[in-house]
């Protein structure tokens, strides 16, 4: 296996975001490209990351599944500068990472065994789909973080509302002018701790797509020409709400 990325910043940022949710993952490399699918240790959230073959300037590989400590990988990827390319090559039980810069810089990362079965992103059905500007979603989630540790995603009469209530409360309202809303009336609560981690991914793309339903998991999709990042988050179903 030998793959080359001429603009490794997307990979570097994605790894940084994923590393906040899980510490060890299997990186799969096959004819479609590179992908990571992982569930967080609390079984509350899943992450799927996909870097299609076309995003690589060189791509020679069979089917690989690389057990990786994400924190180590993150530290190494951070060492690349703005203009540097990245070559990833599997060598026996190591992943060789070459940063192509003015000088030859090489890292070897030990491959590790990952316990448990491979995960796949589940196929879920949703009653509501909202596509909105990432910058607005980020602002709304951070607003909610000021007053509470969970927020509700609400569809009401064609409007999309993000609302958090503690001692104090925060609320954002999106009409059809500010978001593409294809949705039925519904309401579901989600943990802000997770959402605040997910929105770091939103910053990678102008738009974010939310899929949810009444007291149902959330699926959040961030797509660019060169990568896809998806999050699934279990709802917080509470009786006192």
Q: Tell me which residues touch a copy of itself (CB under 8 A).
A: 72, 75-76, 79, 101-110, 133, 136, 139-140, 142-143, 146-147, 167-174, 178
Q: CB nearer to a copy of itself: give 36 or 137.
A: 137
Q: CB nearer to a copy of itself: give 160 or 231.
A: 160
Give Cα 235 to chain centroid, integer Å: 17
Give the integer Cα–Cα distance in Å for 49 and 221.
10
Taking the complex as a whole, how short is the minimal distance between the CB of residue 165 and a copy of itself, in angstroms? 8
Q: Measured in Å, how far apart are the chain's first and last C-alpha atoms?
A: 52
Q: CB nearer to a copy of itself: give 96 or 127.
A: 96
Q: CB nearer to a copy of itself: give 72 or 127.
A: 72
Neighbours of 172 (CB within 10 A): 19
Q: CB nearer to a copy of itself: give 39 or 87.
A: 87
Which of 74, 80, 63 is closest to 109 using CA atoms? 74
Taking the complex as a whole, how short is the minimal distance between the CB of residue 115 and a copy of itself, in angstroms? 18
Which of 155, 158, 156, 170 is closest to 216 using CA atoms? 155
Q: CB nearer to a copy of itself: give 47 or 179.
A: 179
3-state secondary structure 100-169: ECCCEEEEEEECCCCCCCCCCCCCCCCCEEEEEEHHHHHHHHHHHHHHCCEEEEEEECCEEEEEEECCCE
Phi, psi dihedrals of residue 62, rounded to the nearest 5°: -90, -150
- C-alpha radius of gyration, the chain, whole number: 19
CB-based contact 80:87 (threshold 8 Å): no
Taking the complex as a whole, how short is the minimal distance between the CB of residue 2 and a copy of itself, in angstroms? 18
């Amino acid at each position: 296996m030998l793959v080359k990325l001429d603009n490794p910043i997307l990979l570097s940022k994605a790894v940084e975001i994923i590393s906040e949710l899980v510490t060890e993952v299997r990186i799969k490399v096959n004819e479609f490209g590179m992908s990571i699918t992982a569930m967080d240790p609390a079984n509350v959230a899943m992450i799927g990351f996909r870097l299609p073959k076309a995003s690589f300037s060189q791509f020679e590989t069979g089917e690989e599944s690389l057990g990786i400590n994400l924190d180590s990988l993150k530290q190494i990827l951070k060492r690349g500068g703005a203009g540097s390319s990245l070559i990833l090559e599997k060598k026996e039980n190591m992943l060789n990472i070459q940063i192509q810069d003015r000088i030859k810089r090489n890292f070897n990362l030990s491959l590790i065994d990952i316990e448990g079965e491979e995960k796949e992103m589940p196929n879920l059905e949703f009653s509501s789909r909202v596509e909105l500007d990432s910058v607005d979603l980020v602002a709304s989630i951070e607003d909610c973080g000021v007053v509470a540790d969970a927020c509700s995603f609400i569809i009401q009469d064609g409007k999309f509302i993000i609302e958090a209530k503690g001692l104090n409360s925060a609320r954002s309202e999106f009409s059809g002018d500010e978001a593409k809303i294809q949705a039925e009336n519904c309401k579901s609560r989600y943990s802000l701790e997770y959402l605040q981690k997910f929105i770091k991914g939103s910053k990678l793309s102008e738009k974010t797509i939310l899929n949810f339903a009444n007291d149902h998991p959330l699926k959040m999709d961030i797509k660019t020409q060169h990568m896809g990042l998806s999050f699934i988050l279990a709802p917080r179903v509470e009786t006192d709400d």
